[in-house]
Amino acid sequence: MGTMTPLFDRALLVRRLRRAAARADGADFLLRRAADDLAERLSAVSRRFAVAADVGTPGEAVAELLAASGQVDTLLRLRPVAPLTGHALVVVADEELLPLGGASLDLLVSALALQWVNDLPGALAQFRRALRPDGLFLGAFVGGDSLPELRTAFAAAEAELRGGASPRVAPFVDLSEMGGLLQRAGFALPVADRDRLVVRYPSMLELIRDLRAMGATNALVERDRRPLTRGVLLRAAEIYAGRFADADGRVRATFEILSVSGWAPDASQQKPLRPGSAGARLADALGTSERSAGEKAGPR
């Protein structure tokens, strides 16, 4: 069996996340947006969760909201970088190799971490195994329609100045793939949705500063190892401003957050009706006459 070629340099990613966690000027607007959405979805579930795990989420926003929800008795945090502060037990662990026993959790959440895993189907399968029957998974991660402006500007600048473009923005997963991935991992009642957020900056350089503050700059294995020159950077900023600026001169940056949920299968969950088990005839509900297959409709 062949070995999967990794897409992301996980060691580099961990170093960047560690540096970002130590910064005083961190940019957490995406995390706050994802955390608020996660809290809203959790509040719609009228039950308590005895044991929950927050997997991979950077920062404190999700842990704070889970603690404030009153729906979680015990919260375990697993992440590749130890936080500077915390509200729960923290275990330093990789999202791709979780130290969790089977059927040990009632709730598992992960916000803005899964876009960096090399084996997303494998990570989701681990999440599913860690949940008890009727356990809930809630996730939020960066989607494939994020930062098209930055991708375009760098590709054009490098093609012009270096004779070819190198990958700068990761090819994150698309919404259309998520339902199938959740089902493949064994989740019941899978749901996937998107939230698009457009942020405006004075220039592309401020956007890159925020990405660095998130620890979210290029960690692709196939990235260009040559240093990014000032000339390429400034030319990309010029192209960005020329193509993606509003009338006031500020430039747009598009982020897509994919929100997903799924349940560990359990006999108590709602299931589709079996064919022929309906309690009422569709024809009666529609006020029409029922005809057998192949019978031609006569004049009305």
pLDDT of residue 227: 82
In a domain, 291, yes or no: no
pLDDT of residue 36: 93
- Tens digits of per-residue pLDDT, 267-300? 887 665 555 555 555 556 555 555 554 555 454 4
In a domain, 74, yes or no: yes
In a domain, 21, yes or no: yes
In a domain, 1, yes or no: no
In a domain, 100, yes or no: yes
pLDDT of residue 84: 55
Q: Which long-range contacts (CB under 8 A, 24 or more apart) does 40-49 make?
A: 41/138, 41/259, 41/261, 42/66, 42/69, 42/71, 42/107, 42/109, 42/138, 43/69, 43/71, 45/71, 45/136, 47/71, 48/72, 48/73, 49/73, 49/106, 49/107, 49/136
DSSP 189-224: EEEEEEEEEEEEESSHHHHHHHHHHTT-S--BTTS-
pTM surpassing 0.75? yes
Distances (CA, A) of 206 to 119, 209, 244: 31, 5, 14
In a domain, 299, yes or no: no
Structural domain that includes position 114: 10-266
At 173 the three-state DSSP class reads: coil
Count: domains in the chain: 1
Of 61 and 280, the one with more pLDDT:
61
- Tens digits of per-residue pLDDT, 184-199? 999 999 999 999 999 9
pLDDT of residue 259: 94
- Tens digits of per-residue pLDDT, 8-57? 888 888 888 888 877 766 688 999 999 999 999 999 999 999 999 999 99
Give the domain CATH number at 115. 3.40.50.150
| pLDDT higher than 90, residue 239 | yes
Taking a C-beta distance cutoff of 8 angstroms, is the pair 111, 62 a contact?
yes
pLDDT of residue 274: 59
pLDDT of residue 298: 52
- Tens digits of per-residue pLDDT, 97-106? 888 889 999 9
pLDDT of residue 23: 75
| pLDDT higher than 70, residue 89 | no
Asked which of 4-13, 90-99, 197-206, 253-262 is least confident by mean pLDDT, the reply is: 90-99
Residues of the chain with pLDDT > 70, as a percent, come to 85
In a domain, 178, yes or no: yes
In a domain, 246, yes or no: yes
